[in-house]
Structure formats: C-alpha cells, structure tokens
Amino acid sequence: MRKPFIGGNWKMNTSRASGSDLARAVSDGVNSIRAAVDVAIFPPFPYLMTIRQILRERNSAVKLGAQDCYFEPDGAFTGEVSLAMLKDIGVDVVLAGHSERRHVLGESDELINKKVKATLEAGLECILCCGEKLEQRVSNLTDTVNERQIRAGLAGVPGEYLSRLTIAYEPVWAIGTGKVATPEDAQTAQQRIRAVLAQLYGQEAADRIRIQYGGSLKASNARDIFKQPDVDGGLIGGASLKSDEFVAICRAAAESVPA
C-alpha cells in the first residue's frame, strides 16, 4: 500500500509573514493525520529557513521542500542553489522538471535529469514532474510526452534510489486554468506512467513509486481523483496558498487510504 503524498507548491508567492502564518496553519491542520498521509510544502527560497524553524518548533511531520536546485556541488554559478546548501538548512525534498521550469524557463530533459540524479545522490527526496501541453493532448500525444519525460528524467538513476522518488503527473493545460482532468483521465495517464516505470525498473519496484496528480486540484474534486488506484496524492499549486483548502485536500488523501 502506497501512502498518499501531498505537496504544496507555493511558487513565487507569499511574504515572510504570510508564509509563516500559512506554514503554522498547515502544520497544525495536518498533525492529526500525519500517520495516514505525507505532506510537504515548497516555499520560495528566501523563506526556507524561516519555515524550517516554524516546523521544528511545532515538531511537525510536514516536510520542507525546495522548488528547484542546481546539480553542481559548488562553483561559479551565479544565482543557483546547490543540494548541499539545501540539505544544510534542512530541506527534505526537491522538485524537478515542473512544467513552469520546462516551458517558461526553458529547462531541457538533460538538465532536469542532472537535477534528479544530483538530488537523489545527495540523499534527498525528489519529485519528478511530467505532463503534456494542450496541443499535445489534442494530438493524442499524452502518453508519448509522459514516457519521454520519464525516461529522460530517470536516465542513469539506479533502482536503489527509488524509495526517495515520487512522480507528479501535471497536465500543463490544467495548471492554473481551472480545468481539471477527470478522475478517469488522471488514472489512465498515471497507469501508463507506472507501466513505463515497470519497463525501467520492474513491476514490483514500479508498484512502490508514488505518482501524484497536479492540475487545478481542489478540495471539491480531490476525493474522486484520490479514489483512483494509480493516484497517490497530489502536487498542489494555487490551492496550497489557502490553509483551509490545502488541509482539506490532505484530509481527502488520508481518507482515501483503506481502513
């Protein structure tokens, strides 16, 4: 049985004060369900240490996530942040390949793969994102795009690292648009993603990897999506900025686990 995993990606939002309040509310709100669902929040870089302190003061089970990293250990890479730096301040999990990094900032599959490998080699957890744009979906290329991004992102990643790997399927056409894949659409895409993982690492290993859904996920649709057998939680964007909404999504994930 895979334990659901909910990630709250704050993106380039919040202030130190509002982010601190949000972290406190989320930590307190999910404390009673910590045994049933894993939760991580991904604040902007400048607030990571502030949020880490808040989580530690509360003895919180909420993991601290970074929205990005750089794969080199150190050096003349102006503006970049290394895994060693993130680990030093208590980061637990790092995003790689988010659609906004791919399509807004132009990150290639090769660069994303380097970040995935560096994150896992550093002993941190990694969420590798994949997903198709609207024109690719219309052209029936969803599976082709997802398979390419998964195979490229995991190239050279040994099976021993898989316990710290999560996949997030985020249909780009549904991110921040209010559109959402139907539960059946999400299940179909994520079942096929798991099949790709099985080709790479074997069925037993693939069955242990959690696959999140991300794309305008809200408390109102979370339960139906989380009922799907290959959906193991969600990577939440806009709804993660509202503590009540985010906690409700986490509770929906916890309730999706059979008694």
Distance CA 75, CA 84 (A): 12
The full 3-state SS of 41-73, as one line of letters, equals EECCHHHHHHHHHHHHHCCCCCEEEECCCECCC
Q: Which of 56, 66, 50, 62 is nearest to 26 (CA)?
A: 62
Given 107, 125, 132, 170, the catalytic residue: 170
Query: Alpha carbon of 208 to those of 61, 125, 161, 164, 205: distances in Å?
Result: 21, 14, 12, 10, 5
Q: According to the model, what pLDDT value does residue 100 have? A: 95
Q: Which residue has the tokens 């919180």?
A: 60
Given 98, 100, 107, 132, the catalytic residue: 98
Q: What is the CATH number of domain 5-255?
A: 3.20.20.70
Predicted TM-score (pTM) of the model is 0.97
Q: Which residues of the chain have pLDDT under 50?
A: none
- In the structure encoding, which two tokens stand for residue 258, read together? 């059979």
Q: With contact defined as beta carbons under 8 Å apart, do 146 and 130 qualify?
A: yes
103 flagged as catalytic: no
The H-or-E segment that residue 196 falls in is helix 183-201
Distance CA 72, CA 159 (A): 22
Residues 6+ apart with CB under 8 A from 238: 176, 216
Backbone angles phi, psi at 185, to 5 degrees: -60, -45
Distance CA 250, CA 253 (A): 5
Q: According to the model, what pLDDT value does residue 259 have? A: 64
Q: According to the model, what pLDDT value does residue 38 have? A: 99
80 flagged as catalytic: no
Q: According to the model, what pLDDT value does residue 174 have? A: 83
Task: State CA 141 to chain mean position distance.
Answer: 22
* E-strand stretches of the chain: 5-9, 38-42, 63-66, 93-96, 125-130, 165-169, 210-213, 233-236
